[in-house]
Amino acid sequence: MIDFVGKRKIFIVISLILVVASLISIFTKGFNYGVEFLGGSEIILKVNAEVSESDVRQLIKDLAPEFENARITKIKSVDDPKGISKFSIVVSPKDENGELKVYTGEEKSVLSQKIVEAFKNNNYTAEVIGFNETSGYAAQEIKNLTWKAIVFTLLALLIYITLRFQFVFGVGAVVALIHDVVITLGFYSFFNYELNVAAVAAILTLIGYSLNDTIVVYDRIRENLRRSRGSTIETLVNNSINQVIKRTINTSLTTFIVIFILLLFSGNSIKPFAFGMTIGTIVGTYSSLYIASPIVIRWIKK
């Protein structure tokens, strides 16, 4: 039998280190926000040759003022034919007042033609195959709604766990979920992964996934509380975790393998989601065993 409870202080210290490190990265380095959260325009470019981000930057940097600081990312897909390169070019065009603006239809057409001509002059065949735009106001609204969605989700889950179990279980579950979200966001920040709508979907998914693991443990603790009147709370919780550990590990491992393969072989549009789920699966499983349960022990002992 594994002594989960006996080593809980060690794992709480590890968690505190990870949470603090994540918060430091979030508040000092910040996030690599996607165009949905920053506002601006995303141009999808297809080039019939193997070229790099630096090659594209060199060719387009003088086409318009906003291209000088463009964020250029190569789009990789497993089904792309050889000799074809695709890029996401994110720019923040400004109007005469310095405010973020949205391109008009005519401006899009002229800009697309300039890009194609720039590549043609250097013996490349290029084509603008997509134009996605988000206004500054819409971007701010999306960002605000995203953080509200995460906060309200956590509050709703606190109420749900309190009604299904007890308030102490609800607190333990929400603390574990906050732990999962902060550490996952810290990984996004530290590794400079794009934080976009797909990444937010991953975070909301991992909240549900992690909670499911925690509920399995809590359900067994509640069941054993009714049966084992003579046991200490530490022994009871440790026995409960050991009784469900096999199921938890098998489920998490199966999910991890699928998501990790998706992370390795997916295109750029899916990677932010796969990255968040990969980290979240590990952290969520860990927190359901080492964070959620010790909180219950400490509260009940008081």
Instruction: Give CA–CA dist 298/179, Å, rounded.
Output: 17
Q: How many residues are there in the chain?
A: 302
Residue (of 271, 284, 93, 89) closest to 192 by Cα position: 271
Residue (of 38, 71, 31) closest to 141 by Cα position: 38
| Confidence at residue 187, expressed as pLDDT on a 0 to 100 scale | 96
Contact 293, 172 (CB under 8 A): yes
Residue (of 28, 29, 19) closest to 191 by Cα position: 29
| Confidence at residue 78, expressed as pLDDT on a 0 to 100 scale | 63
Domains of the chain: 8-34+139-301 (1.20.1640.10), 40-134 (3.30.70.2040)
| Confidence at residue 232, expressed as pLDDT on a 0 to 100 scale | 82
Residues in the chain with pLDDT < 50?
Answer: none
Instruction: Give CA–CA dist 296/197, Å, rounded.
Output: 34
DSSP 80: P
| Confidence at residue 20, expressed as pLDDT on a 0 to 100 scale | 97
Instruction: Give CA–CA dist 95/154, Å, rounded.
Output: 40
How many CB atoms lie under 10 A from the CB of residue 86? 18
| Confidence at residue 266, expressed as pLDDT on a 0 to 100 scale | 77
| Confidence at residue 79, expressed as pLDDT on a 0 to 100 scale | 65
| Confidence at residue 302, expressed as pLDDT on a 0 to 100 scale | 62
Whole-model pTM: value is: 0.82
Instruction: Give CA–CA dist 187/143, Å, rounded.
Output: 19
